[in-house]
Structure 1
Amino acid sequence: MKKKLFLPVLLFSAILFAQEKQNKYPQDTGKTQEIKIDAFSLIVFSSFDVTYERLVNKDSSYGVSLFYNFNTIDSDLYFPKKFSLTPFYRWFFTETRFARGFFVEGFGMLNTFEEEVYSFDSFDTNGNFETVKETDFAIGISVGGKFIIKSGFVAEISIGVGRNIFGNTADGFLENELVTRGGISLGYRF
């Protein structure tokens, strides 16, 4: 009698446990896309950085980020990177959760730098200074963490570095060999 009762109780417990585990993360059910804005860049640098990310499976995702710096060269908070378009691919280290937790990212970055440099050859309205722009493509890596609450809101922190591979410098003035990537982003999974 005990053996006959043990098997149905064990089966019923396994089904309940599986349902509890399945419903533990309702924000993962059928949601494979995220949109995020880098709050750190927006507040500190007055720069706009928006990211779209598509979840492939529980271990990986891919996406693209668009960055634009609204500051002018004469601003105190001017950061020389003016624009970047960054496709990326991420690998997550969690086994039971869908594309969340700590990750490593590989990225490529089309970037434009803009600086005011001293000019020996030409004079403009600023005297001996001229604005020089440089566009290049970088390859790099980032690390970070993504955290999601049950309602689907996402918080992410990341940091990374890459190296420009073409070394296109306008008249040899700019030396932007390294690029940075990172921030504190807030968004929503849908």
Structure 2
Amino acid sequence: MKKITLLLLLFITTISIAQEKEEQYPQDINKKHEVKLNILGALAFEWIDVSYEYLINDESSFGVGALVGLDNNKNIDEYRKFSLTPFYRRYFSNKFARGFFIEGFGMLHSYENNNSNYYDDYSNNYISYGNDDTKTEFAIGISVGGKFISKKGFTTEIYLGLGRNLGGDSSSVEVVGRGGISLGYRF
């Protein structure tokens, strides 16, 4: 009889702990999708950078980001026009797909190659002695970051990474950057 009572108490305790975890982290229950907007890209670089992330399990996810450059004046970032960036993330936390992460990414990107221009100090203008062209290349890289999630499912993440272009010629961009501060929603 004591063994049955002990097993019954153990069973009830296990169920009550499981229910407490569900109440404590409602954003983790059956929510596998996230959409995000990189606000740093929109404010500082005049980029629209949106991404979608699918949560595979509590430690990993994959997703894709799309970036479109809107800066016609070429003030801050004169080369980035478009990028499509698939990524895979590995989370290092005891909570469901949040906290510190490492990301591997590939980036198909287009940029304006204006190596044929130079700045003339005397006339304070850019002088062109050739044609500008748009190049499309592929890069691979790695990022690190952190993700924070509210109980209602709103997400904030900060990340920074570098990638290297594969192929290309001597006038190609060799290194690409990836980073931002994103706000989103997990559903």
* TM band (smaller chain): 0.7 to 0.9
Q: Which runs of 5+ in 2 are unaligned?
A: 118-126
| CA positional deviation for 1:185 | 0.4
Which residue number in structure 2 is paired with residue 82 of structure 1? 81
Which residue number in structure 2 is paired with residue 34 of structure 1? 34
| CA positional deviation for 1:113 | 1.3
Counterparts of 1:60 and 1:43, CA distance in 2: 29
Asked whether the 8 Å contact 2:113–2:172 carries over to 1, the reply is no
Counterparts of 2:48 and 2:178, CA distance in 1: 13
- With over 3 angstroms needed to count, the CA separation of the structure-2 counterparts of 1:9 and 1:164, relative to structure 1, is same
Counterparts of 1:8 and 1:148, CA distance in 2: 36
Which residue number in structure 1 is paired with residue 59 of structure 2? 59
- Same amino acid, percent of matched pairs: 48
Across the aligned residues of Structure 1 and Structure 2, the Cα RMSD in angstroms comes to 2.3
Q: Deviations over 1:153-181 (max 9, x none)?
A: 110111111111111x4xx4x33111111
User: SS in structure 2 opposite 1:117?
Assistant: coil
User: SS in structure 1 opposite 2:181?
Assistant: strand
| CA positional deviation for 1:93 | 0.8
Residue 187 of structure 1, aligned match among 176, 179, 184: 184
Which residue number in structure 2 is paired with residue 146 of structure 1? 147
| CA positional deviation for 1:10 | 4.5
Asked whether the 8 Å contact 1:157–1:182 carries over to 2, the reply is yes
Counterparts of 1:76 and 1:4, CA distance in 2: 75
How high is the TM-score relative to the length of structure 2?
A: 0.85
Counterparts of 2:129 and 2:138, CA distance in 1: 29
Asked whether the 8 Å contact 1:45–1:79 carries over to 2, the reply is no
Mapping for residues 113-152 of structure 1, pairs under 5 Å? 113-118=111-116, 128-152=129-153
Counterparts of 1:127 and 1:145, CA distance in 2: 43
Given the alignment of the two structures, is residue 101 of structure 1 paired with residue 99 of structure 2, yes or no?
yes
Counterparts of 1:88 and 1:30, CA distance in 2: 22
Asked whether the 8 Å contact 1:64–1:85 carries over to 2, the reply is yes
Give the aligned residue type for 1:81.
Answer: R
Which residue number in structure 2 is paired with residue 175 of structure 1? 172
Counterparts of 1:115 and 1:84, CA distance in 2: 15
| CA positional deviation for 1:99 | 1.1
- Say how many residue pairs are matched: 179
Q: Deviations over 1:123-181 (max 9, x none)?
A: xxx753532222110111111111110111110111111111111x4xx4x33111111
| CA positional deviation for 1:3 | 8.0
